[in-house]
């Protein structure tokens, strides 16, 4: 059995959030079916704001459940994963906040906001969707040659959502600064984002943790687990200082 990799599950854990209730079963399935053992730690959004809160982990997964109690904490966790090369997965609100962090800290769009948490802001990056995706299932078209395509193994997939907000403006600016949008719905709206050059940085507006009954982890969840195990192996191989 492979040594356990440490994964930070960032979000405000709640029994009313279905994706949260799926996590224990997904972790068991990864260990039993794929021999990918993850030692999971829930990090509430307030705690994630502390310096180094997710440093030293082998993966960071920002889970759904917005509005988070601390947007600052979630953004700090995402920034740490991005800057320190820690494998990262963001689902639903995790994608929304990954784009927000990148826009503010990489693209210089310091004033962009999320309409759910700052409805009076003057410049939104994340706004209410024209049609809510709460309880929706839909086709996602995946770009060939992308990380998402290599993980999912197809250029077309059907995914489940529980989401009412999504990216709207400034997408060309994010692209110009290195963000890749690699999955779209059939109307051309962004559904997947990734960061080329990062060991593993993938985010989706849909919730892969809702795939099936949880006994067979979605390829994106399995890919995060593999990246975490690889990260742990590299960390353990480094000489002690």
- What value does the mean pLDDT take over residues 237-241? 71
- What value does the mean pLDDT take over residues 148-173? 95
Instruction: Give the pLDDT confidence of 121-130 residue by residue, as tens digits.
Output: 999 999 999 8
Residue 152 has pLDDT above 50, yes or no: yes
Question: Which residue has better confidence, 214 or 169?
Answer: 169
Q: How far apart are CA 27 and CA 214, in angstroms?
A: 9
Quick check: 97 and 71 in contact, CB under 8 A? yes
Quick check: 98 and 70 in contact, CB under 8 A? no
Question: Which residue has better confidence, 3 or 5?
Answer: 5
* pLDDT at res. 132: 85
> Tokens for 6?
């440490």
- What value does the mean pLDDT take over residues 188-211? 97
Identify the sign of the CA torsion 228, 88, 13, 77. Answer: positive
Maximum distance among all Cα pairs of the chain, rounded to whole angstroms: 53
Instruction: Give the pLDDT confidence of 15-30 residue by residue, as tens digits.
Output: 999 999 999 999 999 9
* pLDDT at res. 238: 80
CA 209 to chain centroid: 11
Q: How far apart are CA 241 and CA 232, in angstroms?
A: 17
- What value does the mean pLDDT take over residues 127-140? 90
Whole-angstrom CA distances from 43 to 8, 121, 213, 230 are 6, 28, 25, 22
* pLDDT at res. 143: 97
Specify the CATH number of the domain 5-237.
3.40.50.880
* pLDDT at res. 168: 87
Q: How far apart are CA 190 and CA 168, in angstroms?
A: 9
* pLDDT at res. 133: 86
Q: Where are the domains of the chain?
A: 5-237
With cut-offs at 50, 70 and 90, classify the pLDDT of residue 241: low
CA nearest to 190, candidates 202, 181, 201 = 181
Of 17-21, 154-158, 179-183, 235-239, the poorest mean pLDDT is in 235-239
With cut-offs at 50, 70 and 90, classify the pLDDT of residue 1: very low
CA nearest to 78, candidates 50, 52, 97 = 97
Q: How far apart are CA 44 and CA 226, in angstroms?
A: 24
CA 35 to chain centroid: 22
* pLDDT at res. 240: 62
Residue 2 has pLDDT above 60, yes or no: no
Mean pLDDT over the full length of the chain: 95
Instruction: Give the pLDDT confidence of 45-85 residue by residue, as tens digits.
Output: 999 999 999 999 999 999 999 999 999 999 999 999 999 99
- Say what the pTM is: 0.95
């Amino acid at each position: 059995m492979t040594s356990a990799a440490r994964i930070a599950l960032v979000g405000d854990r709640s029994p009313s959030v279905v994706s949260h209730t799926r996590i224990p079963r997904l972790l068991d399935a990864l260990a039993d079916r794929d021999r990918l053992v993850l030692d999971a730690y829930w990090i509430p959004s307030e705690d994630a704001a502390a310096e180094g809160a997710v440093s030293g982990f082998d993966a960071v997964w920002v889970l759904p459940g917005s509005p988070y109690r601390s947007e600052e904490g979630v953004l700090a966790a995402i920034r740490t994963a991005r800057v320190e090369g820690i494998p990262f997965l963001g689902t639903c609100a995790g994608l929304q906040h990954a784009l927000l962090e990148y826009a503010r800290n990489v693209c210089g769009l310091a004033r962009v906001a999320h309409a759910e948490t700052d409805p009076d802001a003057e410049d939104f990056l994340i706004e209410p969707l024209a049609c809510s995706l709460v309880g929706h299932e839909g086709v996602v078209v995946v770009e060939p040659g992308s990380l998402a395509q290599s993980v999912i193994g197809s250029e077309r997939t059907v995914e489940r959502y529980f989401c009412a907000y999504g990216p709207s403006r400034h997408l060309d600016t994010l692209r110009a600064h290195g963000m890749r949008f690699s999955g779209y719905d059939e109307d051309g709206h962004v559904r997947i984002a990734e960061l080329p050059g990062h060991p593993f940085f993938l985010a989706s507006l849909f919730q892969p943790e809702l795939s099936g009954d949880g006994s067979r982890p979605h390829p994106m969840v399995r890919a995060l687990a593999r990246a975490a195990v690889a990260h742990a192996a590299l960390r353990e191989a480094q000489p002690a200082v």
